[in-house]
Chain A
Amino acid sequence: MNTNKNQPVVGLFITCLADLYRPEVGFATIKLLEQSGCRVEVPSQQTCCGQPAFNTGDYSTSADIARQTIAAFDGFEYVVAPSGSCIGMLHHYPELFEDNDPWKARAEDLKKRAFEITSFLVDVLKIDDFKVDATAPTFNGSVTYHDSCSGLRELGIKAQPRQLLAQVDGVELKEMEESETCCGFGGTFCVKYPDISNRMVGNKTQNIVDAGAKTLLGGDLGCLLNMAGKLQREGHAVEVRHVVEILAGMTDQPALGEAQSSVKAG
Chain B
Amino acid sequence: MQITSPDFKQNARIALQDVGLQKALGNVKTGFPHKRATAMARLPEFDQLRDEARDLKNHIIENLDIYLEAFESKVLENGGHVHWCRTSEDARKTILKICQEKNARTVTKGKSMVTEEINLNEYLEANGVTPVETDLGEYILQLRGEHPSHIIAPAIHLNLEDVSETFHANHHKPKSMDPAVLMQEAREELRNKFVAADVGITGANFLVAETGSSIIVTNEGNGDLTQILPKTHIVVTSIEKVVPTLEDMTLFLRLLARSATGQEFTVYNTLSTGPRREGDQDGPEEYHVVLVDNGRSEMIASELREMLRCIRCAACMNHCPVYGAVGGHSYGWVYPGPMGSVLTPQMIGIEKGALLPNASTFCGKCESVCPVRIPLPKLMRYWRRNEFEKHLTPKAARWGIGVWGFFAKRPALYRQLSSFSNLALRTLAGKKARINKLPLASGWTDGRDMPAPSDKTFMQLWSEKQKNGASS
* Residue positions of A touching B, CB distance < 8 A: 14, 16, 18-23, 25-27, 42, 44-48, 50, 52-59, 61, 64-65, 68, 149-150, 152-154, 180-182, 184-203, 225-226, 228-230, 232-233, 254, 256-261
Residue among A42, A56, A153, A188 with the highest chain B CB neighbour number at 10 A? A56
Q: How far is the CA of A19 from the CA of B393 in the complex (A)?
A: 29
Classify chain B's interface size: 35 or more
Q: How far is the CA of A131 from the CA of B365 in the complex (A)?
A: 36
A57 to B389, Cβ gap below 8 A?
Answer: yes
Secondary structure of the A contact surface, majority rule: helix
* Residue positions of B touching A, CB distance < 8 A: 9, 12-13, 16, 321-322, 325-326, 358-365, 367-368, 381, 383-389, 393, 397-398, 401-402, 404-405, 407-409, 411, 414, 418, 421-422, 431-434, 436, 441-444, 446-454, 456-459, 461-462
B361 to A149, Cβ gap below 8 A?
Answer: yes
Q: How far is the CA of A60 from the CA of B16 in the complex (A)?
A: 36
Q: How far is the CA of A69 from the CA of B436 in the complex (A)?
A: 34
A57-B381 contact given A45-B411, A47-B414, CB 8 Å threshold: yes
A-B contact pairs, 5 of them (CB 8 A): A14-B459, A20-B454, A64-B409, A65-B408, A182-B361
Residues of A contacting B321 in the complex (Cβ-Cβ under 8 angstroms): 181-182, 184, 200, 203
A23-B461 contact given A56-B401, A150-B364, A196-B359, CB 8 Å threshold: yes
A68-B448 contact given A14-B459, A56-B388, A186-B360, CB 8 Å threshold: no
B443 to A191, Cβ gap below 8 A?
Answer: yes
Residues of B contacting A254 in the complex (Cβ-Cβ under 8 angstroms): 433
Residues of B contacting A258 in the complex (Cβ-Cβ under 8 angstroms): 433
A230-B365 contact given A23-B461, A55-B381, A182-B321, CB 8 Å threshold: no
Residues of B contacting A190 in the complex (Cβ-Cβ under 8 angstroms): 443-444
B409 to A61, Cβ gap below 8 A?
Answer: yes
Which of A14, A21, A48, A230 is in CB contact (< 8 Å) with B447? A230
Residues of B contacting A188 in the complex (Cβ-Cβ under 8 angstroms): 397
Secondary structure of the B contact surface, majority rule: helix
Which residue on chain A has the smallest CB distance to residue B357? A57
Q: How far is the CA of A33 from the CA of B386 in the complex (A)?
A: 41
Which residue on chain A has the smallest CB distance to residue B456? A23
A149 to B433, Cβ gap below 8 A?
Answer: no
Q: How far is the CA of A14 from the CA of B459 in the complex (A)?
A: 9
Which of A44, A149, A201 is in CB contact (< 8 Å) with B362? A149
How far apart are B360's CB and chain A's nearest CB, in angstroms?
7
A20-B457 contact given A65-B408, A229-B451, CB 8 Å threshold: yes
Task: Known pairs A53-B405, A150-B362, A184-B361; list 20 more (Cβ under 8 Å).
Answer: A19-B457, A47-B408, A56-B388, A57-B384, A59-B385, A65-B405, A65-B409, A68-B411, A149-B364, A187-B361, A192-B443, A198-B446, A200-B322, A229-B434, A230-B447, A232-B448, A232-B451, A254-B433, A257-B433, A261-B431
A23 to B409, Cβ gap below 8 A?
Answer: no
Q: How far is the CA of A96 from the CA of B387 in the complex (A)?
A: 17
Residues of B contacting A45 in the complex (Cβ-Cβ under 8 angstroms): 411
Residues of A contacting B421 in the complex (Cβ-Cβ under 8 angstroms): 20
B448 to A201, Cβ gap below 8 A?
Answer: yes
A153-B368 contact given A19-B458, A233-B448, A257-B433, CB 8 Å threshold: yes
A229 to B453, Cβ gap below 8 A?
Answer: no
Residues of A contacting B383 in the complex (Cβ-Cβ under 8 angstroms): 57
How far apart are B343's CB and chain A's nearest CB, in angstroms?
18
Which of B360, B364, B447 is in CB contact (< 8 Å) with A198? B447
A153-B408 contact given A23-B456, A196-B325, CB 8 Å threshold: no
A20 to B444, Cβ gap below 8 A?
Answer: no
Q: How far is the CA of A190 from the CA of B361 in the complex (A)?
A: 8
Q: How far is the CA of A5 from the CA of B332 in the complex (A)?
A: 61
A153 to B457, Cβ gap below 8 A?
Answer: no
B362 to A55, Cβ gap below 8 A?
Answer: yes
B401 to A52, Cβ gap below 8 A?
Answer: yes
Residues of A contacting B448 in the complex (Cβ-Cβ under 8 angstroms): 198, 201, 226, 229-230, 232-233
Residues of B contacting A256 in the complex (Cβ-Cβ under 8 angstroms): 451
Q: How far is the CA of A154 from the CA of B402 in the complex (A)?
A: 27
How far apart are A62's CB and chain B's nearest CB, in angstroms?
9
A199-B16 contact given A57-B386, A259-B432, CB 8 Å threshold: yes
What 9 pairs across the A-B complex have the smallest Cβ distances?
A186-B361, A194-B443, A257-B451, A57-B384, A57-B388, A198-B447, A182-B363, A229-B448, A23-B458
A186 to B409, Cβ gap below 8 A?
Answer: no
A196 to B16, Cβ gap below 8 A?
Answer: yes
B397 to A153, Cβ gap below 8 A?
Answer: no
Which residue on chain A has the smallest CB distance to residue B392? A57
How far apart are A167's CB and chain B's nearest CB, in angstroms?
26
